[in-house]
Chains A and B, each alone.
Chain A
Amino acid sequence: MWNKLFGGKKNGTPMTTEIPPVKLKGVGDSFWVTVDPSTPEDVIHEKISELFERLQHLAINAKVIIDVGGAEGCDELVNNLRDFLKKRFDVGIVTTPPEKRSQSVENSRQVDLGKGWITHRTDALILTGRIRSGQKIETRRHLIIVGNVNPGAELTSSGNIIVLGSLQGQVNAGYPDNEDAFIIAIDFKPTLVHIAGIPGDGADPSLAGKIVYASIHKNKVILQDYMQDQPFGKIPWPTAL
């Protein structure tokens, strides 16, 4: 029914945006061939031929990277394509994309044990002193104020905002859309709070005199007692923000 109404493909799969089985683009000094491994091999051969014929002499001795989009069990397909390309178009080296370096949990723990933090570069703007009325601090990094923020001052950060002192101005964390951003202040009395563009209440009288942690929960800014709720206490190992 769905297919009839919306014109699904003949084989019955629901309609999606059509992705060509083979795409070719130049990356650096090589050709990057993206292949959809679910397509029959002879179709791939046909499409590749089409694309490489257009390249004419450029294909000769060129470096080619065959990207199967991370699909597993495609070694045979890649080998076949390598032979095909070398025979048909005289290309140089045919490889697969370099594997992305992903830091495993184990690795990140070793960073700590092996004093790897020494080489870690901070992604925060740390300011000391008083931010006065009319002053605007805008940064793409995390913002840490060691001092007070007076009423009428404005803080905007793409990351988190931490105020080691009294926060009485306007705060705008996670600008424009980082919903993981949070705000912590020792004395939390802002005139206006925004996290990821979502406005929230300023000071909560029930949290007076407490360190306040503000974050986004279900599209709302919620304020918590930092020392009581310990939002980061559950993270067992130090992690850089």
Chain B
Amino acid sequence: MEGKIIVVTSGKGGVGKTTATASIGAALALEGNRVAVIDMDIGLRNLDVVLGLENRIVFNIVDVVNKRCNLAQALIRDRRIENLFLVPASQSDNKDVLTAIGVQRVAKMLKSEFDYILMDSPAGIEKGFENSVVAADEAIVICTPDVSSIRDADRVIGLLYSRSITPKLIVNRIVPEMVARGDMLSHEDVIDVLSIDLLGLVPMDNQVVVSTNTGMPLVMHNQSLAGQAFRRIAKRLNGEVDIPIKVPTARTGVWDKISQKLGLNR
């Protein structure tokens, strides 16, 4: 059976594309799928750091596309999670070194070997974005609940539609306390503007910074709220239909407040 290529994109930078790619990829692999995560952000590679695999890079996606090595040489296997592989980006090239035809050729090879291929798209809508979506079957648009991110996501959704890809939405970095106070847009407001299917809601979580710095995938922290959200998203992607979308809520209980003050709970 052929695998599925899913591109993770957002338009705006810094909304959590790379974190989402790493987390969803790891979660899908934990579910027992063979997963490859591809860093398409040529020149600004990050996905290897987030996955804690930066020490093991020899070849990268540019080498594979330009036939300097074969695919198996560039694939880095994660030692903690079975069936999770990374193809890193090149740090020394720029985004113009890849061609659409080359990416499509590599995508075909990847599809024959993996169940899910997650492409981490760079920010922007130029060549890098085009190379990432050229072979995609599905798309995930990441958006944070702020106006600039929504506008960029809107543009990207339009571009994806024009390529006959119907994207799904993840609203990232929701701070439920701010939403409750009316200082932050709620996920309903975001969906009102973007009007696409919602794949999941991810709350703001300080654990993301910790796991990025330590290279430990977020979904392996059982306590992390964002990690749990990404695990649910992965399950939905994997075809489990009866997982309800959990709306992050503010923790207002007395014990929550006391434990937060004492630093027992994040």
Contacts and interface: CB of A to CB of B under 8 A. Distances in A.
Interface of A: 130, 132-135, 148, 150-152
Interface of B is mostly: helix
A103 to B, nearest CB: 43
A132, A150, A151, A152 — most chain B CB neighbours (10 Å): A132
Nearest to B162: A135
Contact of A134 (B147, B158, B193, B195): B158
A130 B151 CA distance: 13
B151 A133 contact: yes
A78 to B, nearest CB: 63
A136 to B, nearest CB: 11
Interface string B148-179: 00011011011101000000000000000000
A133 B162 CA distance: 13
A130 B196 CA distance: 11
A167 to B, nearest CB: 13
20 contacts: A130-B195, A132-B154, A132-B157, A132-B158, A132-B161, A133-B152, A133-B158, A134-B154, A134-B158, A134-B159, A135-B158, A148-B193, A148-B195, A150-B151, A150-B154, A150-B193, A151-B147, A151-B154, A151-B193, A152-B154
A148 B193 CA distance: 8
Interface in B112-160: 147, 151-152, 154-155, 157-159
A222 to B, nearest CB: 28
B155 A133 contact: yes
A150 B159 CA distance: 14
Interface in B177-209: 193, 195
A151 B155 CA distance: 10
A40 B176 CA distance: 90
A148 B191 CA distance: 13
> Closest 5 A-B residue pairs measured CB to CB?
A132-B158, A133-B154, A134-B155, A133-B155, A132-B154
Contact of B151 (A135, A148, A151): A151
Contacts, number: 28
A135 B152 CA distance: 12
Contacts of A151: 147, 151, 154, 193
A134 B151 CA distance: 9
Nearest to B11: A133
Interface in B69-97: none
A152 B11 CA distance: 14
Contact of A152 (B155, B159, B161): B155
Given A132-B157, A133-B152, A148-B195, 18 more contacts: A130-B195, A132-B154, A132-B155, A132-B158, A132-B161, A133-B154, A133-B158, A134-B158, A134-B159, A135-B158, A148-B193, A150-B151, A150-B154, A151-B147, A151-B154, A151-B193, A152-B151, A152-B155
Contacts of A134: 154-155, 158-159
B152 to A, nearest CB: 8
Contacts of A130: 195
Contacts of B152: 133
A134 B124 CA distance: 13
Contacts of B147: 151
Nearest to A135: B158
Question: Considering residues B154, B155, B157, which has the most beta carbons from chain A within 10 angstroms of its beta carbon?
Answer: B154
Contacts of A152: 151, 154-155
Contacts of A132: 154-155, 157-158, 161
A130 B161 CA distance: 12
Contacts of A150: 151, 154, 193
Contacts of A135: 158
Among A133, A150, A151, the one with the most B-chain Cβ atoms within 10 Å of its Cβ is A133
A214 B159 CA distance: 31
A133 B157 CA distance: 9
A132 B162 CA distance: 11
Contacts of B195: 130, 148
Contacts of B155: 132-134, 152
B165 to A, nearest CB: 14
A132 B11 CA distance: 13
Contacts of B193: 148, 150-151
A135 B154 CA distance: 10
B38 to A, nearest CB: 26
A151 B194 CA distance: 11
A132 B151 CA distance: 9
